[in-house]
Structure 1
Amino acid sequence: MPAVDLFIPCFVDQLFPQTAMNMVKVLESVGCEVHYNANQTCCGQPAYNAGYKQESHQVACKFLDDFPNQPDRYIVSPSGSCVGMVRNAYAELFDGTADQARYHGLQRRIFEMTEFLVDVLGVKQIAGAQLPGKYTYHDSCSALRECGIKEAPRLLLDAVQGLERVEMNESETCCGFGGTFAVKFEAISVAMAEQKVENALATGADYVVSTDTSCLMHLDAYIRREKKPIKTMHVADVLASGW
């Protein structure tokens, strides 16, 4: 039974806790022994992206302390963005420090949920998962470009009973969120969300699905404001549907 430590990003913890619970449901269904350290907080990505390297290093040090330094324990998260931060940006933050070796050990053990299921456990289907309708997939920037995640979520989603994939144009194009980018450049951010939603609508899909709740929140805000006939769902919520 694989031992898994949950890494629940602050974004998911505060705004989409059900997604985290659904990830637990999915992991346990494939035989994982799930652990959660309630003392964990942010990975430091907001500070790092804003240029506050010293502050983000302090947060990163806490992150290392929050997870057991055990080579047989995986760390799994429902966020490609935050996994990308730990897997890549931490390499700069810990370069040449006393914690560098400990970080590299953690770096090898952290995974986004779908890549863990497919690439580590070899899972191709979540038993009982069912959701009627069509979905189109949004490749989040961090999941795709920082973690190389593309096929794993599609493989699992395509195996959901009653669900059909329809690819949209420019599925790999940014949705416009980008953390503080959406605040600092609101007009550009909204225009990018509009284009992404219009591409999704053109497929006739019922759902836009992704690995990142941040992207989905941004798109959902535009969808709700403009009253568009499509919904957003995190991949964990889809895989936990119907059972």
Structure 2
Amino acid sequence: MENLEKLDLSRNRLHGNLPSSIFSNHSTIVVFNVSDNQLDGNIPSYPGIIQQFNLSNNRLQGNVPSSIFSNQSQISLFDVSGNQLEGLVSFSMFANSSSLDYLDLSSNHELEVETESPSWIPTFQLTTLNLANCNLNKKNGHVVPSFISTQINLQYLDLSYNSLEGGIPCQLFFNTNTTELYLRSNKIEGSFLDCFINGTSSLRSFDISDNHVKETTSRTGKRQDDSYKMASFRGQAKAMALKASFGEAELR
């Protein structure tokens, strides 16, 4: 199979290690999918040119090898979600992946994803970014990744379960291409309505449940003490009406 370009072995109950022989110096594989199996061991380095690399929902361990991206300007999809990866992943390793469109590192409980240091400049424009439950910016104050403001094509963003701190990141609401935004189970605080006073959002699905968001009612100006339990809303977010009841807020 010297000329093999696409290899899809997903959902086949495969187990054991990924053989490094698949990724020889002469490999022509550009699409590799072994998602939803029972593979374990480490992720091997890949010296060839690859466009899609999907290892999601296995039992892979160890680090994400930065060598995968050393010459990977053509990679468009990288998905290692739902594994047992560990160690530090610095986003600077993706800096030169100019074709990167889909990135999912979520649900790797021992992984630490760092987006703020060392400094880097993204050359890519993502449409999908999932960093849920991967200890995001643990050593930099659990901040929302600053590079997201440069991602004008972003349609799907999930930063849930990361203990993110600080005020509500209003800039995430006003990307006109973003239709799904998930911030569930963080430590985000502040005024929710302020994000919608002077802007339009294209969000169809939004989840900020299990945070510390508080708001002031428009009728009395009295600040409520209970966190919002609101889970999601659908439709246009411009000129939204907030219907407050103590302990819950509904968006319509």
Q: Same fold (TM over 0.5)?
A: no
- Between Structure 1 and Structure 2, whose CA radius of gyration is higher? 2
In the superposition, the TM-score normalised over structure 2's length comes to 0.28
- Structure holding more strand per residue: 2
Which structure has more relative contact order (CA 8 Å, sep 6+)? It is 1
Q: TM-score, normalised by structure 1?
A: 0.29
